[in-house]
């Protein structure tokens, strides 16, 4: 697994974002039976100011958010609530997943409000982001149920509590 990580906010170092990214990506790929050795992605660990710019530029929402993702390929399933197709390696043998940006400020605030350790919340957001790169979404109820179920299953297997229940 190749993960290119750009930390533009040094506060991510203390959280252990690099380790969290690797563990989250490997856990998602393992659950979906995708060979991690073939996969590549990049992560930007930034602050609210930068993620607000990205959110405005790419989603036309002029506000900060916790995590954004840009899949390298369109992988969404045709039917609501269905599993997206498993990505196949390109002619060079690699699977480019895409890019994720995560904001320290929003992540830390949400973790504090929920009474969760920031590392646990960051792990959830990274699992969430990697699933987006693989074609999962939460636009409609069947898709949200599938995605949230996978998030919960993956995180519980990692020893973390259900992110959608009370901590």
Question: Which segments are annotated as binding site for Zn(2+)?
Answer: 128, 132, 138
Half-sphere exposure of 130 (CA within 13 A, CB side): 30
Is the four-CA dihedral 129, 132, 134, 137 of positive or negative sign?
positive
Q: How far apart are CA 46 and CA 60, in angstroms?
A: 19
Cβ neighbours around 76 below 10 Å, total: 16
Output the known binding site: 128, 132, 138
CA dist 46 and 66 (Å) reads 10
Beta-ladder partners of 100: 43, 69
Between the two ends of the chain, the Cα-to-Cα distance in Å is 31
């Amino acid at each position: 697994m190749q993960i290119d990580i750009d930390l533009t906010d040094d506060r991510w170092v203390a959280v252990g974002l690099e380790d969290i990214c690797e563990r989250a990506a490997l856990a998602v790929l393992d659950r979906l039976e995708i060979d991690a050795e073939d996969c590549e992605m990049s992560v930007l660990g930034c602050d609210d100011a930068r993620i607000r710019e990205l959110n405005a530029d790419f989603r036309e929402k002029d506000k900060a958010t916790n995590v954004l993702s840009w899949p390298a390929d369109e992988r969404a399933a045709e039917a609501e609530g269905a599993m997206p197709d498993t990505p196949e390696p390109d002619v060079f043998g690699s699977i480019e997943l895409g890019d994720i940006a995560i904001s320290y400020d929003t992540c830390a605030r949400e973790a504090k409000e929920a009474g969760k350790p920031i590392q646990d919340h960051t792990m959830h957001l990274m699992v969430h982001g990697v699933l987006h790169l693989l074609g999962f979404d939460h636009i409609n109820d069947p898709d949200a149920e599938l995605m949230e179920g996978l998030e919960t299953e993956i995180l519980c297997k990692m020893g973390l509590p259900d992110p959608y229940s009370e901590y």
